[in-house]
């Protein structure tokens, strides 16, 4: 006697498959976050995307990246990127709702859109996702940001951020940009070097810390002033960024 598939049976199979897909998604993503809690991030989706773009354009692959622990990066660089990108990094839990609110109000007034992504969000996007503005990617960014805030902590987030973020054409991370643009390791970066690197981060393919424009030099000065202020009046516990 042949088995007859009814709509009820089919619906049960679909639910079973969906249940396993959901479990697989949460299990695999949680495992990836736990692995990267202790293991270096040697390659990111953006690095692969840039390499594919270079090949399609008939160019040689440009990929400069060398992972180093936070202890081998100048302590001025975390301060510089906090001053430039996310001044409440040490006190928020992944999302800066004050900046999000300001961005929404400015958009409603028709002003130029401002970025409201935190260092935690940028790290989640760099390590686990791809560039884009779709709701699906944004939703995944929120999910991964929450996970790394829970399982990594601020020190690890900063370490991964400084090692994985794009800092120039084919240049990723503090050690690579220090070697390529300044000729010495990241541990020897001066406050001025760090401020200049931080000044490029909104658009590292347009702005270069090797050949800074007048705008870049003005922004460097602003960041240096912010660094001095935050070092005297820290917004949060700066000791969270000290290596263990």
Q: List pLDDT tens digits, range 139-163.
A: 999 999 999 999 999 999 999 999 9
Residue 99 pLDDT: 74
Domains of the chain (ranges; CATH) run 41-61+69-238 (1.10.3810.10)
Question: What end-to-end distance do the CA atoms of the chain give, in Å?
Answer: 68
Place of tokens 């990066």: 73
CA distance 63 to 43: 10
C-alpha torsion sign, points 84, 227, 211, 159: negative
Q: How far apart are CA 225 and CA 211, in angstroms?
A: 21
Mean of the per-residue pLDDT values for the chain?
90
Q: Please determine, for residue 110, whether its predicted confidence score (pLDDT) is greater than 70.
A: no
For the stretch 170-229, pLDDT in tens is 999 999 999 999 999 999 999 999 999 999 998 999 999 999 999 999 999 999 999 999
- Cα dihedral sign, 160-183-210-224: positive
Instruction: Report how far residue 138's alpha carbon sits from residue 140's, in angstroms, rounded to the nearest whole number.
Output: 5
Q: What is the pLDDT of residue 244?
A: 42
pLDDT band at 107 (very low <50, low <70, confident <90, very high): low
């Amino acid at each position: 006697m042949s088995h007859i598939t009814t709509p009820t049976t089919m619906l049960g199979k679909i639910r079973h498959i969906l249940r396993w897909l959901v479990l697989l998604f949460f299990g695999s993503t949680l495992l990836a976050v736990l692995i990267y809690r202790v293991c270096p991030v040697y390659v990111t989706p953006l690095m692969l995307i840039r390499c594919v773009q270079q090949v399609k354009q008939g160019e040689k692959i440009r990929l400069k990246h060398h992972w180093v622990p936070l202890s081998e990066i100048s302590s001025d660089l975390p301060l510089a990127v906090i001053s430039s990108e996310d001044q409440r990094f040490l006190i928020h839990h992944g999302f800066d709702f004050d900046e999000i609110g300001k961005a929404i109000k400015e958009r409603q007034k028709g002003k130029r859109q401002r970025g409201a992504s935190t260092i935690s969000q940028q790290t989640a996007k760099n390590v686990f996702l791809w560039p884009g503005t779709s709701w699906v990617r944004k939703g995944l960014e929120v999910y991964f940001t929450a996970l790394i805030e829970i399982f990594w902590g601020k020190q690890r987030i900063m370490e991964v951020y400084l090692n994985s973020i794009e800092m120039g054409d084919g240049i990723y991370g503090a050690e690579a940009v220090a070697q390529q643009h300044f000729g010495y390791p990241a541990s020897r970066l001066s406050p001025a070097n760090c401020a200049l690197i931080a000044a490029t981060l909104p658009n590292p393919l347009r702005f270069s810390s090797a050949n800074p424009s007048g705008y870049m030099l003005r922004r460097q000065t602003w960041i240096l002033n912010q660094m001095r202020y935050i070092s005297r009046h820290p917004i949060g516990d700066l000791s969270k960024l000290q290596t263990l």
